[in-house]
């Protein structure tokens, strides 16, 4: 048996060859057969660039059907796919290239730097040296033989120390999670997924697309999320997946309601907390109870509210079939039902470790194989999980993780700044908004000056949306900055936009 995830997709692509797979508004649809042919061509092109099974391919390109073919081509060839957020600056990308040591870097345009790594391009319109190579290379017909435990992808997640860690995901991790989700969410033969998420994170790349590939169904494939267009496409869709910002932006439209959702059977939310307020407002407006699930790059999906049973607002549901979840106290002992602790998970979905970081990997796993998520939660007697906060210092803005340490390190290089604490506070659009609390060296420091210091060094979504000046930062007896006190104090900073 071939453990290559692509082998499962290949069977569905063949079986549904004549049916649409990627529905592309304004352009010709790609059938399953066409996607299969494009994946083989991409695999052939990768081989032509010298990529072999086990090699990493770092990809930082705009969302396009050609990028989907590139991802599938990597799998087919047995290479390891390493997606990067398109918002990352060249300075940020440099780190990933050094760390991943890829055989090929596929990017939107030729980078202005000494290429230490072979480069190919793939632009937003599907042009570039990679598709050119794919058009002329001999397609790869064979699906590379892979062990299920072999690496399929490395997904970078930032670390609380500021250094990004590559979560190593195997074919087995991806396959087991995809199968479980299709089952849990009752994927139907006639389902049409509305896909507006980016495809450089696990949510859009694996959770959403794999449900389609594993069932031979189709998706309306949008380049990004724009509320009006999205609402329009719901009429031809049955399922969608989004971050909570999708739902708050839909609700902000007075013309959005039951009529737009008449064809829909399921709205799924994840990557950030869905507030009870949004859950109830969405139900009142559309009649749909959003199904919230919980996961992360390292573990793929862990828990889900039920398809048929009660979906409880503010909870992320129970552990998925085959996944074990438990709540542990600071001492590492499992706590009783209802008590808050760190959520730990174990199962075929859980990654094998961080790329070339055995020390970090060992720190995050318990001796019995449970992975420490860094999320604080409680579980009721039925196993239903409610996330209440995070043990890790991370802000989640519009579904993107921002690690304060990374932002603080650069702001503190500013001569005008004595010290800073970067926090996340409630934001009506992004759920949490990044705020820099700054102790100025002399005169107050403005947002402009901070933006100037961060320009080109940090992705825009990580940059503070507000800067607040304080004479001192609150500290505890140990000298540690009390971010909770700051979060409380500035909790209403973005209120005026509500
Ligand atoms: C964009 N901007 C953001 C932002 N997204 N700022 C903070 N947080 C964000 N998430 C900024 C841009 O830098 C720009 O700033 C301005 O907002 C407008 O940019 P845009 O590109 O027009 O934004 P928009 O398309 O409206 O994007 C918002 C969004 C997008 C919510 C649609 O962020 C998004 O698609 N988020 C999904 C993230 C996701 O897929 N997460 C899954 C991670 S996996 P300026 O100032 O330059 O104009 C995971 C595991 C799991 O978490 O469980 O799923
Ligand atoms: P990432 O590292 O980008 O994969 O983000 C994973 C993190 O997103 C998790 O550790 C959680 O903190 C958060 N997350 C994902 N889904 C949910 C959810 N439904 N509710 C609350 N937080 C979530």
Mean pLDDT, rounded, for 347-354: 98
User: Which residue owns the Cα nearest ligand 1 atom 24?
Assistant: 225
Predicted pLDDT of residue 193: 99
- With the most atoms of ligand 1 within 8 angstroms of its CB, the residue from 243, 398, 432, 455 to mutate is 398
Q: What mean pLDDT, rounded, does the chain reach?
A: 96
Atom of ligand 1 nearest to the CA of 196: 35
Predicted pLDDT of residue 113: 66
Q: What is the pLDDT of residues 15-44, one digit of tens each?
A: 999 999 999 999 999 999 999 999 999 999
Q: What is the pLDDT of residues 308-320, one digit of tens each?
A: 999 999 999 999 9
* CA-based radius of gyration for the chain: 22
* pLDDT at 111 > cutoff 90: no
Q: What is the pLDDT of residues 30-85, one digit of tens each?
A: 999 999 999 999 999 999 999 999 999 999 999 999 999 999 999 999 999 999 99
Q: What is the pLDDT of residues 219-266, one digit of tens each?
A: 999 999 999 999 999 999 999 999 999 999 999 999 999 999 999 999
For ligand 2, whether the C-beta of 272 sits within 6 Å is: yes
Q: What is the pLDDT of residues 333-345, one digit of tens each?
A: 999 999 999 999 9
Tokens 């090699």: give the residue: 55
Q: What is the pLDDT of residues 461-484, one digit of tens each?
A: 999 999 999 999 999 999 999 999
Return phi, psi of residue 475, to 5°. -130, 155
Q: What is the pLDDT of residues 431-468, one digit of tens each?
A: 999 999 999 999 999 999 999 999 999 999 999 999 99
Ligand 2 mean position, distance from CA 294 (Å):
6
Confidence of residue 163 (pLDDT cuts 50, 70, 90): confident
* pLDDT at 115 > cutoff 90: no
How large a percentage of the chain has pLDDT more than 70? 98
Predicted pLDDT of residue 498: 47
329 secondary structure, DSSP code: -
By CB atoms closer than 10 A (0-12, 13-18, 19+), residue 90 is: middle
pTM over the 0.85 mark: yes
- Taking the C-alpha atoms of residue 137 and residue 40, their distance in angstroms, rounded to an integer, is 10
Indicate if the alpha-carbon torsion angle 401, 407, 409, 410 is positive or negative.
positive
Buried residues in 66-89 as b, exposed as e (16+ CB within 10 A): bbbbbbbbbbbbbbbbbbbbbebe
Atom of ligand 2 nearest to the CA of 387: 21
Which residues, in sequence order, are CB contacts of 1 under 8 Å at separation 6+? Answer: none
User: Which residue owns the Cα nearest ligand 1 atom 48?
Assistant: 460
**Quick check: 146 and 78 in contact, CB under 8 A?**
yes
- With the most atoms of ligand 2 within 8 angstroms of its CB, the residue from 153, 181, 204, 295 to mutate is 295
Ligand 1 mean position, distance from CA 87 (Å):
9
Tokens 């994927």: give the residue: 187
Ligand 1 mean position, distance from CA 399 (Å):
7
- Taking the C-alpha atoms of residue 140 and residue 47, their distance in angstroms, rounded to an integer, is 8
Residue 184, Cα to own-chain centre: how many angstroms? 20
Tokens 């559309």: give the residue: 286
Q: Which residues, in sequence order, are bridge partners of residue 272?
A: none
Closest CA to 141 of 6, 258, 311, 50: 6
Predicted pLDDT of residue 442: 96
**Quick check: 144 and 74 in contact, CB under 8 A?**
no
* pLDDT at 134 > cutoff 50: yes
- With the most atoms of ligand 2 within 8 angstroms of its CB, the residue from 272, 394, 432, 462 to mutate is 272
Predicted pLDDT of residue 158: 78
How large a percentage of the chain has pLDDT more than 90? 96
By CB atoms closer than 10 A (0-12, 13-18, 19+), residue 1 is: exposed
């Amino acid at each position: 048996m071939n453990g290559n995830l692509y082998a499962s997709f290949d069977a569905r692509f063949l079986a549904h060859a004549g049916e649409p797979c990627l529905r592309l508004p304004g352009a010709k649809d790609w059938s399953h057969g066409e996607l299969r042919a494009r994946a083989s061509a991409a695999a052939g092109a990768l081989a032509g660039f010298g990529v072999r099974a086990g090699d990493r391919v770092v990809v930082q390109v705009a969302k396009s059907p050609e990028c989907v073919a590139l991802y599938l081509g990597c799998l087919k060839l047995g290479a390891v796919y390493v997606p990067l957020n398109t918002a990352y600056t060249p300075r940020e990308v440099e780190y990933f290239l050094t760390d991943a040591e890829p055989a090929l870097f596929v990017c939107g345009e030729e980078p202005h730097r000494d290429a230490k790594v072979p480069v190919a391009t793939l632009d937003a319109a599907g042009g570039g040296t990679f598709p050119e190579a794919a058009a002329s290379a001999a397609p790869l017909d064979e699906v590379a033989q892979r062990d299920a435990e072999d690496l399929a992808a490395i997904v970078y997640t930032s670390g609380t120390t500021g250094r990004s860690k590559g979560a190593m995901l195997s074919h087995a991790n991806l396959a087991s999670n995809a199968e479980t989700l299709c089952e849990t969410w009752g994927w139907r033969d006639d389902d049409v997924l509305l896909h507006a998420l980016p495809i450089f994170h696990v949510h859009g790349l694996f959770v959403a697309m794999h449900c389609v590939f594993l069932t031979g169904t189709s998706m309306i494939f949008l380049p990004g999320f724009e509320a009006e267009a999205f609402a329009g496409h719901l009429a031809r869709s049955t399922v969608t997946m989004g971050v909570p910002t999708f739902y708050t932006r839909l609700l902000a439209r007075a013309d959005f309601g039951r009529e737009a959702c008449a064809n829909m059977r399921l709205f799924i939310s994840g990557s950030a907390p869905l507030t009870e307020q949004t859950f109830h407002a969405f139900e009142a407006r559309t009649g749909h109870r959003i199904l919230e699930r919980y996961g992360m790059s390292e573990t793929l999906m862990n828990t889900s509210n039920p398809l048929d049973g009660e979906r409880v607002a503010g909870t992320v549901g129970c552990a998925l079939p085959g996944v074990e979840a438990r709540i542990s106290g600071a001492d590492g002992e499992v706590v009783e039902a209802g008590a808050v602790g760190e959520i730990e998970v174990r199962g075929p979905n859980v990654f094998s470790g961080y790329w070339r970081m055995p020390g970090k990997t060992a720190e995050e796993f318990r001796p019995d194989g449970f992975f420490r998520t860094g999320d604080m939660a409680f579980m009721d007697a039925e196993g239903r999980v409610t996330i209440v906060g995070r043990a890790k210092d991370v802000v989640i803005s519009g579904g993107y993780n921002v690690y304060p340490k990374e932002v603080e390190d650069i702001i503190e290089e500013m001569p005008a700044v004595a010290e800073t604490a970067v926090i996340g506070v409630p934001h009506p659009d992004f759920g949490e908004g990044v705020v820099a609390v700054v102790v100025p060296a002399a005169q107050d420091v403005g947002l402009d000056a901070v933006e100037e210091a961060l320009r080109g060094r940090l992705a825009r979504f990580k940059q503070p949306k507000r800067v607040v000046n304080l004479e001192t930062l609150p500290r505890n007896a140990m000298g540690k900055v009390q971010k909770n006190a700051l979060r409380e104090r500035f909790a209403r900073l973005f209120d005026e936009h509500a």
